[in-house]
Amino acid sequence: SKELDEVAALHRKHGLRFTPQAGDLFFRHYEKGSEAQRQSLERLYREVEKYRGDPVVAGWSTIEEMAMDYVELFEAPLRKVEEIDPGQTLPQIFNRLTVLWDVAQKYPMTVAYRDFYPYFGWHKAGPVGAEACANALDVEMRLLGAMLPRGASAWAMPQSIEMQAEEEGAMRMIYRRPSGAELKLQAWISLGAGCRGVTYFHYASDLGDAPEFTGLRMPDGSSSPAWIELGTLARRLVPRGSVIAGWEQSYLPLQTDRYQLRAYLFRNRHDPEVNYVVAFNRDATQRTQGRVRLPFTGVQVTDLLDGGRVRARSGRGHTTIRVDYPAGDGTIYRLVGAI
């Protein structure tokens, strides 16, 4: 489509890749088994053929929040896309882990997104306390990784919006607006849980005095404070995307001397002497300082995101580093010489 071509051109211009999620290629939006659904699949195949081998496309996201009775329909487009463009993938976006589990057992899966918003605005809709919200996200992202086949990439799709949705007179999907620190914290929790990437919805806010939906862009197209906050985070993380995509989680939480300090060890797939640590402040209200104990001696520690050598103190069978993180923020450390 013309719109897809324009989006592809913008991504090429800025050296980016994208995963098209075009509405008219979205076969879930059509009645199961209908002629309209068949035509949506044909449109998808034509676009895949058109962009075959083009590195600007990272996958074709035609599955979002799929209901269980649509799982059987996933096989045909999966096989067809692989036939047209070998090595290409259909990333799936799930809002129900039960559906993800069913798909993961039946079909090849390389990339899966978990669409999960933890910051509710009403206790009957979901968790509202800061600790409960963070715990809910942590559990969901770890379950996502546990359900995927080995080698598949888990991606988090956390919350950036405020929403007051009403359906048939009953309030549902009531989410408060996450603070700037909470926006960043969701990314750190997800990376610490083993996710290979994080993406946020980029919707524009509704018009009117009492909008139902407040997104990352304001109604006039200007950037919201949330968009600016996430831009700062992206400039730190995106340049290290290949590193994050190339590690494997050791599932070893590291010892810290503060409850809100969290640190998780990851190993490099290709170099056993290089390890990484995702460390962050789980408190989204205030700065936290403390120590992280690494289970190695004689290790060189550098801050992968902000640069520079990190002063480390070796002890009996371990190395300790001092850390200081703003509310909801963190970093990634690179450890060299760790066995």
DSSP characters over 135-187: HHHHHHHHHHHHHSPTTPEEEEE----EEEEEETTEEEEEEPPPPHHHHHHHH
Distance CA 64, CA 334 (A): 35
Phi-psi region of 7 (alpha: psi -120 to 50; beta: other; left: phi over 0): alpha
Q: How many residues does the chain have?
A: 339
pLDDT at 258: 96
Residues of the chain with pLDDT under 70: 22-29, 62-63, 165-172, 202-214, 251, 338-339
Q: What one-letter code names the amino acid at 254?
A: L
Contact (Cβ atoms closer than 8 angstroms) between residue 8 and residue 47: no
User: Measured on CA atoms in the order 52, 196, 248, 142, is the torsion positive or negative?
Assistant: negative
pLDDT digits 0-9 by tens, 283-295: 999 999 999 999 8
DSSP-assigned letter for residue 108: -
Are the C-beta atoms of residues 160 and 183 closer than 8 Å to each other?
yes
Return the pLDDT at 25. Answer: 60
Q: Give the β-pairing of 247-253 and 312-315.
A: unpaired
pLDDT for position 202: 65
Q: How far apart are CA 202 and CA 215, in angstroms?
A: 7
Looking at residue 223, its pLDDT comes to: 80
